[in-house]
Structure 1
Amino acid sequence: MKYQTIAGLLTLTLLYGCSSSDKVVPDVPPSQLYSESQESLQSGNWQTAIKKLEALDSRYPFGAYSKQVQLNLIYAYYKSDDYAMALATSQRFVRLNPTHPQIDWVLYMRGLIYMAQDRNFVQEFVGMDRSDRDPEPAKSAFADFKKLLKRYPNSLYAKDAKKRMESLKHRIADYDLATADFYLRRKAYIAAINRAQEIQKTYPDTQAARKSIPIELKAYQALGLKKPIERTKKLMELNPVK
């Protein structure tokens, strides 16, 4: 008797779950479901849009709306701060549709997603400078924007991508500067010199490049290398920190 009661409750629970799901995303024609998802997107109701788009994606993976549904999902996931799903969906789209006419937009969005992952809202809110945090998302964003500019120089998104690359360049250079300073403080002088010189070579027009020269000088002084010390002093004079 007890087994029957538990089984009955389980059945009711499953039925209720299915019923709730059906209420959220009813079994309607794809054209209607797509239209409803568009309305949700336009009104900024991201979670509702995602549920409807996911239903379309799973029910009609090869339907007339399939590619646009995936593009809309990338945007909806991004706007709802679900960066993991936004990234996975954009990567899948690029892999399956390498020649799609909106690939430039997907690359642009993927760059934005990586930038969002790199951002630390708590640190920004309290004004903390954490240039030492992992720069991999920033590097990935930079790579996607660079790919966009190379492949689609006339894209509508090229101008903004270029501006964002400039910001990302300084972000990555600042991380390398923090790393060079860390090596110096740990008395890993050769590593500090190598990282400083890499900054100067790769990001010569950044403040980080100028700030890396004193680090290089201190490392040479610690090693007692006279000629590199004199050369680096001259380099500092030509590139003062602004």
Structure 2
Amino acid sequence: MEFANTAALNKKVRFVLVSVALAVAGAGLTACNSDPDIDITKIKANTDPADKLYAQGLANLNAGNVGEAKAKFAAIDKQDPFSEEARKALVMSTFLNYRNGQFDEAITAGNRYMKLYPESKDAAYVQYLVGLAFYKKIPDVTQDQRYAAETMKAMQAVVDNYPTSEYADDARAKVRMAKDQLAGKEMQVGRYYQERKEYIAAVSRYRNVVESYQSTNQTQEALARLVECYYAMGVTSEAQTAAAVLGANYPDSQWYADSYKLLQSGGLEPRENSGSWISRAAKKLVLGEG
């Protein structure tokens, strides 16, 4: 009787244990079935070491797969942002965005690089790319010239911080072009006011060209327009000074010939007043500053 009771008890225990095991297994299967599908290829890509991702990015770039190359470089930044490969990947991202005409993205990536690695070996190149991206966004002079100002600022940073780099000469040229664009905008607005006989407003624009953008090709016309505006307002001393400065710096200019003729029509001639702001600005003009 005792043996039979023991056997029955063991059988009952085994039944309970099996039931529990099946319940646990079932719960595990249910949990797995409720989880979203996992893309194991993405898991593999994200766990590749930074150097391998960088090599893959370059390989895709060489194969013409620009989108895939950008994805690889971006993955490095997310996975291992403080590695040397992440630094180089950010250079490549800036370049690829610029090359693809995604100038805003190039500017963002480039500016981020310059904040992180201003002393690195690629800093001059990245700063130059930022300047080029702004340069490509400059519209004609009839529109807002914010990007011309940003181009001048970015390219001047190349000149000031990396003067011996291979990008410095072109950066200087781009600074001059941007200044000329800004001066052209001032001239356009000045002519607008002058045509409406709002001479004080026009003089303000022309003065900005003479004082701030002496090295541009807009200076001759700005001085001649100052002669016209001051003459029209009856401020003959300033008109004569503007003509004198114009003649001293651009004696063969048609602008000077026209200004001289205008003064002569009123019985005047060019004569510099050393106390005039135009005379003070002329000293910078002679020195080739601005």
TM range (shorter): 0.7 to 0.9
Runs of 5+ in structure 1 lacking a partner?
Answer: 1-10, 121-129
Deviations 1:70-129 (A, max 9, x none): 1111101111111111111111111222322322112111111110121x5xxxxxxxxx
Change (3 A) 1:175 1:46: farther
Corresponding residue number in structure 2 for 1:87 = 107
Deviations 1:122-171 (A, max 9, x none): xxxxxxxx322222211211122222222221112112212222322322
Alignment identity in percent?
21
Change (3 A) 1:198 1:241: farther
CA distance in 1, matches of 2:55, 2:165: 28
Deviates more, 1:221-230 or 1:155-164: 221-230
Contact 2:176/2:216 (8 A) holds in 1: no
Corresponding residue number in structure 2 for 1:182 = 192
Corresponding residue number in structure 2 for 1:50 = 70
Corresponding residue number in structure 2 for 1:151 = 161
Q: 1:26, CA displacement in angstroms? A: 7.1
- Paired residue type of 1:167: M
Change (3 A) 1:183 1:45: farther
Corresponding residue number in structure 2 for 1:164 = 174
CA distance in 2, matches of 1:220, 1:136: 30
CA distance in 2, matches of 1:184, 1:110: 37
Corresponding residue number in structure 1 for 2:277 = none
CA distance in 2, matches of 1:22, 1:160: 43
Corresponding residue number in structure 1 for 2:83 = 63
1:140 and 2:150 matched = yes
Corresponding residue number in structure 2 for 1:7 = none
Q: 1:225, CA displacement in angstroms? A: 1.9
Q: 1:43, CA displacement in angstroms? A: 4.5
Deviates more, 1:136-145 or 1:27-36: 27-36
Change (3 A) 1:29 1:233: closer
TM norm structure 1: 0.77
- Secondary structure of 1:206's counterpart equals coil
- Secondary structure of 1:113's counterpart equals helix
> In the TM superposition, what are the counterparts of 1:176-215 in structure 2 within 5 Å?
176-215=186-225
Corresponding residue number in structure 2 for 1:105 = 125
Cα RMSD after superposing both structures: 2.9
Corresponding residue number in structure 2 for 1:126 = none
- Paired residue type of 1:203: Y
- Paired residue type of 2:73: L
- Secondary structure of 1:100's counterpart equals coil
CA distance in 1, matches of 2:173, 2:49: 43
Change (3 A) 1:188 1:49: farther
Runs of 5+ in structure 2 lacking a partner?
Answer: 1-33, 256-290
- Secondary structure of 2:121's counterpart equals coil
The 4+ residue runs of structure 1 with deviation greater than 4 A are 235-238
- Paired residue type of 1:76: L
Q: 1:180, CA displacement in angstroms? A: 1.6
CA distance in 1, matches of 2:230, 2:100: 50
Which of 61, 65, 89 is residue 41 of structure 1 equivalent to? 61
Deviates more, 1:208-217 or 1:81-90: 208-217
